Amino acid sequence: MTALDATQPRGTPFRHGAPLMAEQLGTARHHIASLEVDGKTFNVSLKTAYDGIEHIGRLWFADASTGETGIPDHGAIPGRTVDEAISLAQRLTNDDLMRRFHRAHAEKRRYVKLRRNVDEILAKVKYMNRVAVSMRGGMLDNEGAGQELELITKQLQDIVTRLKDVAGVEG
């Protein structure tokens, strides 16, 4: 049974015959720049996630004075590796970042926390499917994959329970 390393640019993200935990496939943030807009400073970060084929990055703009998560730009910055996505984001000029900042604010969602939870659900469902497909295809042993599927199911249930707290809440 051969497993692919999660750092490889393609394939199902498994390492040493065992699936990576859902947390290991989660997103990571990387500081890209600081941006001055109307007298305020915004931290620009790249949030990356591996989708099984490539690392997809999205820029996030957070008010440096509040410490909040910020709002995402809806454009993607893909890379074969995390470092490649970061490098592409760092090549954006100040004008590029400013245009992306204005686009993000023009498309700003009203229910950000709800959206974040829905995005998390989608990521976990995709990961669950990759684990199940790999198990059924013989890449993973049934016991290990079954345990991972149970963990993902519990995580999904926890997220669904939280939805009632964020539904209808702006910000």
* Helix runs in 49-111, H state only: 82-90, 94-106
Mean pLDDT of the chain: 81
Q: What are the boundaries of each domain within the chain?
A: 1-10+22-108, 110-171
CA distance 49 to 113: 18
Task: Report pLDDT digits (tens) over 89-129.
Answer: 999 999 999 999 999 888 766 787 888 899 899 999 999 99
pTM summary value? 0.55
Q: How many residues would you count in the chain?
A: 171
Q: Residue-wise pLDDT tens for the chain (171 aa)?
A: 333 333 333 333 333 333 333 333 446 788 999 999 999 999 999 998 887 788 899 999 999 888 777 888 989 999 999 999 999 999 999 999 999 999 988 876 678 788 889 989 999 999 999 999 999 999 889 999 999 999 999 999 999 999 999 998 886
3-state secondary structure of 31: strand
